[in-house]
Structure 1
Amino acid sequence: MSAGAETARGAGQATGADTVRGARQEPVPTGTGVSAGAHPALSLRAALARLRETTPGAVLTRPDPLAPEAVAGDFAERYAGVPAVGVARPEPAVLYTGVAGHRTPVLLGLYGDDERLYDWLPGLPWALTPAAVAALVRAARAPVQVTGAPVQQLTAEGAEVDLRRLPVLTTTPRDAGPYLTAALIHAQDPVTGESSLSAHRMLVLDRDRLAVWIVPGRQLGLLYERALERGGRLAVTVSIGVPPAALVASAVNSRFLPAGLSKLALAGALAGRPLTLAAGRTQPASGLAEAEIVLEGHLDGTLADEALGGAEPGLSLPEFLGYDGRARAGLPVLTVTAVTTRRDPLYQAVIGPGREQSHLLGAAGALSVALSLPQTPALAVQDLHLSPAGGGMLLLAVAVRKERPEADRQLNALAEDILTRHPFVKTVVLTDEDVAIRCAEDLLWALTTRSNLAADTTEWTRLPPVPMDPSQTPEWALARGHRGGIPGRTAIDATTPFALRARTARSFGPGTT
């Protein structure tokens, strides 16, 4: 496990001068572990190499000595975009090779531009139409079990395990402590065969224990509860530095996957080829064979507060929408029994808010919505996009084509269905198909010229709020003078009425020049 201050393993050859202050591009030494013909969908380091090849200035090295508590702040100040800071910019992939007390480089920003995902994942539809998503489901590829996995080149078991040897970041001085933030927990029910693959914030409690926040209703929580009801425990793996296809698939909502389709099989569809798994050495659970690091362990009913040193739970770490999160009491404890790694691993993390997490959540969230769309005969959904302005979750743009006059009356039903099924979506903006919903300015143009907000906004007060959003709290409602309680979630009709489409065509639309 090594990385010098002058080079960064896992990146491709430098081909240009550094354009971002405080970092520099470095040539990659031999022995990076990128196998010949490795596909970027199936390997983090292959994705890094591809990014270096296609966008020479997008993979940077920061060799300056930094404490683990200072790395995230440095990235936020120098490189991060909305909603971490008020700057709209793609984020470079930055390898921090000088993290104090650690030889393993820290990687941030790999997913800081959504075009990278479409380059790496051949199965990811650019336009999320129902037909495109149906084709994706048909292309599902089950994972393959392998031996001699790259991630099992080095192993520490039992008393040798010490999570503090990993460069786990403390994102802000207000955090409860160091958290794993870009790690996937994989588990499988030994009776039903059902599996889960999901990301969770995990606080490092000590050398071999993690406190895991599991959002109620998540598949992992269901498998965990079943294991405890049987009087046993749930074996799991935690993969760090995972294939891009796995990371995107992990954030898709399990409720909307067709029966029998696992997230790992969906990842195979995104990659256009199956992912690989490796059986654990100390647990009856499999980790991602091409990951950089895998923790093996179990959840056995032990609980701990999300705090260190006997403190009361306070704040956790920055959340996706740009504000600090709340720590929780009585979280499940994951006991780690082994750590396996590549010989020269990279430690991947996210800082919470920013373009990187927004793009990951947005791509997976839009897939989830597409998988759940109702049948609306007079409306044809042309695309879906969850904007980074809402952290990739709160603000959903839906481009539609109206087939018949009754489509005008079906817009609210479509929006209500989406808001009901997807509790983190706060605002749905419906646009015509000629609007580039991935372009913030074009979306604002549609809002400005094709809607009157006082008349074209619909509110649903019965839908539950998103409590992490400060504007959806009782305190906010009271301060605003909303005596009727918390305002509901909304939809905005920014489409042209069916009968007026010819009169409001864009001057420079298709066939006009």
Structure 2
Amino acid sequence: MNLRDAIDHAKPEIIDDEIGHDEIISFLRKRGLDNKPVILNVEGKKVAKNFVASRELLGRYLGVDAYNIARELAEVERKGAKVEIVDFSELDVGKTEVNLYDLPVLKYFPRDGGRYITAGVVIARSGETYNASIHRMMVLDETSVATRLVPPRHTYLLWKEAVERGEELEVAVVIGVHPLFLFASATRLPEGEEFSYASRLMGGLRLYRKDNLLVPDSEIILFGRITAERVREGPFVDITGTYDRIRDEPKLVFDEMYVKEDFIYYSITPGGREHQMLMGVPYEPVIYKFVSNVCKVKNVITTPGSCHYFHSVVQIEKRSEGDAKNAIMAALAANPSMKGVIVVDDDIDILSYEDVEFAVATRFQPDRDFVVVSGARGSSLDPSAGKTTSKWGIDATKPIGREDEFRRII
């Protein structure tokens, strides 16, 4: 499966009006398309956006509804992984001169440090295993970018080990992949599991071998080296919609570029709903599994108001007093970046903010049901946090034995 196979599921609006590479955000806002799947004409080239910008869209690719995503992802490891490897020559792409300005790379906001590749999946080899992860890349010139590598994540460690050996880290960067491959690349997994996880999500995965690297079916494929040289990267708008700080990051130099005929470039809007979905929703099955160790969990979502990252709602089947408190602690342990959890009963619609607020309003007492944890490690993306953060949990469940008093009639 590839990006073009996903078009039937995403049903994007296709816009033929030509737009400049630095005009996209204002154009989408004026049209009310910020979080809608679209294929745009950017200076004569096709740009796709927002194919993973809602739970409904992600559910379509997975074959489930918006309510069953966490449960489906929690069970996906039980599916068999079918990975087929063939020669790179079988992929329908043509080699072209490396020139990043031939791609419709976007500048999203006026204060951005430059034009950014935001949906580039970096594939690197570690022995006999491979790592695939999404990294933002600020274009420096025709052949190089500044690549944000977050320590101590896997690509950073591979690069650091290569530099310590006096080498450069060989990588492939693929742009325009199937949305489920993009989702798998955004998911934190055990070392070397990205390809098998993507295969389980997609019902099979074909990879193309070129020299020491494997790549999926992609619209654009770049081969290059992450060097020891560091260059200034940023500013860049991160998941909260606020600017991240400027850093010195490794320079990635590209040596080869391959593209499909009439290629479709893929772009993720920084701080947009798709960015948040890709960062936060992969934690839902992790939270689901952690909570299942302490009580009967029914469902989990990360909330859109918290950028799908900082807060979650956990639905349980309460069987004894204390289940909700245990669920709070388990959920917070599942994702160190998470800041708040609301636990509700299984009669609450967790996708409805009004329903969740109703549970808080009618089943929660602050002096009895509010949990605060001080001095915990949080997320560097939270502008309110310092070296540590406070975390909270709300038990908005009905007391055992008094269920009839809380049953809704209308």
Do these two structures clear the TM 0.5 threshold for a shared fold by scoring above it?
yes
C-alpha displacement at 1:355, in angstroms?
Answer: 2.5
Please list the CA deviations of residues 128-176 of structure 1 after superposition, one character each: whole Å capped at 9, or x if unmatched. 677x5563112141422123667552112xxx31111111111100100
2:199 alignment partner in structure 1: 268
Give the equivalent residue in structure 1 for 2:307. Answer: 391
Q: Which digits, 9 at most, give the CA deviation of each residue in 1:269-300, with x for residues without a partner? A: 112x22121123xx521221x21111111223
User: Which residue in 1 is equivalent to 2:341?
Assistant: 428
What is the CA-CA distance between 1:367 and the residue it aligns to? 2.6
Q: Distance in 2 between matches of 1:151 and 1:434?
A: 50
Match of 2:6 among 47, 50, 53: 47
- Tell me the amino acid that sits aligned with residue 267 of structure 2: A
Q: What amino acid maps onto 1:67 in structure 2?
A: G
| Alpha-carbon distance between aligned partners in 2 of 1:140 and 1:245, rounded to the nearest angstrom | 16
Q: Counterparts of 2:329 and 2:373 in 1: how far apart (Å)?
A: 8
Q: In 1, distance between residues paired with 2:243 and 2:324?
A: 35
Correspondent of 1:360 among 252, 262, 278: 278
Residues 16-55 of structure 1: pairs in structure 2 closer than 5 A? 42-52=1-11
Query: Is 1:210 the equivalent of 2:145?
Result: yes
DSSP 3-state at the match of 1:161: coil
Q: Percent identity?
A: 25
Give the corresponding residue for 1:304. Answer: 231
Letter in 1 for 2:37: A
Conserved in 2, the CA contact under 8 Å of 1:358 and 1:387?
Answer: no
Query: Which ranges in structure 1 are unaligned for 5 or more consecutive residues?
Result: 1-41, 53-58, 82-90, 307-314, 475-485, 509-513
Of 58, 73, 77, which residue of structure 2 is paired with 1:117?
58
Q: 2:105 aligns with which of 168, 178, 202?
A: 168
CA distance in structure 1 between the aligned counterparts of 2:70 and 2:55, rounded to whole angstroms: 18
Cα offset, 1:414, TM superposition: 3.2
Residue 143 of structure 1 pairs with residue 78 of structure 2 = no
Partner AA of 1:109 in structure 2: N
Say which is worse superposed, 72-81 or 293-302, in terms of deviation: 72-81
Q: Which runs of 5 or more structure 2 residues have no equivalent in the other structure?
A: none
TM-score norm. by structure 2 comes to 0.91
3-state DSSP class of the match of 1:424? coil
Aligned match of 1:286 in 211, 214, 219?
A: 214
CA distance in 2, matches of 1:233, 1:340: 21
Tell me the alpha carbon deviations over residues 350-399 of structure 1, each in whole angstroms, 9 at most, x when there is no partner.
112233223333331213333555621xx111111011111111111111
In the alignment, structure 1 residue 155 sits paired with structure 2 residue 95: yes
| Aligned-partner Cα distance in 1 for 2:243–2:90 | 36
The amino acid of 2:49's aligned partner reads: L
Give the letter aligned to residue 203 of structure 1: M
Name the stretch that deviates more: 421-430 or 114-123.
Answer: 114-123
Q: How does 1:51-130 map to 2 (within 5 A)?
A: 51-52=10-11, 59-80=12-33, 91-97=35-41, 99-100=42-43, 103-122=44-63, 126-127=67-68
- 2:98 and 2:255 in contact (8 A); partners too: yes
The one-letter code sitting in structure 2 at the alignment partner of 1:212 is: T
Taking the aligned partners of 2:159 and 2:402, their CA distance within structure 1 comes to: 54
Q: Deviations over 1:317-337 (max 9, x none)?
A: 2222222222212x1111111
After superposition, the C-alpha distances for 1:162-194 in whole angstroms (9 at most, x for unaligned) are 11111111110010001111121111202xx23
**In structure 1, what is the equivalent of residue 243 of structure 2?**
324
Q: 1:163 to 1:187 in 2, by over 3 A?
A: same
Q: Which residue, 328, 331, 334 being the options, matches 1:415?
A: 328
TM-score of the superposition, structure 1-length normalised? 0.74
**1:78–1:151 CA distance, 2 compared to 1 (3 A):** farther
Which position in structure 2 is the counterpart of 1:505?
407
2:114 corresponds in structure 1 to: 177
Q: 1:148 to 1:216 in 2, by over 3 A?
A: closer
Number of residues of Structure 1 aligned to a counterpart in Structure 2: 410
Is the contact between residue 420 and residue 463 of structure 1 (CA under 8 Å) also seen in structure 2?
Answer: no
CA contact (8 A) 1:362 1:388 kept: no
**Contact 2:338–2:378 under 8 Å retained in 1:** no
| Deviation, structure 1 residue 112 | 2.5
Matched, 1:449 2:381: no
Contact 1:248–1:363 under 8 Å retained in 2: no
Q: What SS does the corresponding residue of 1:63 show, helix, strand or coil?
A: strand
- Offset at residue 204 of structure 1 (A): 0.8
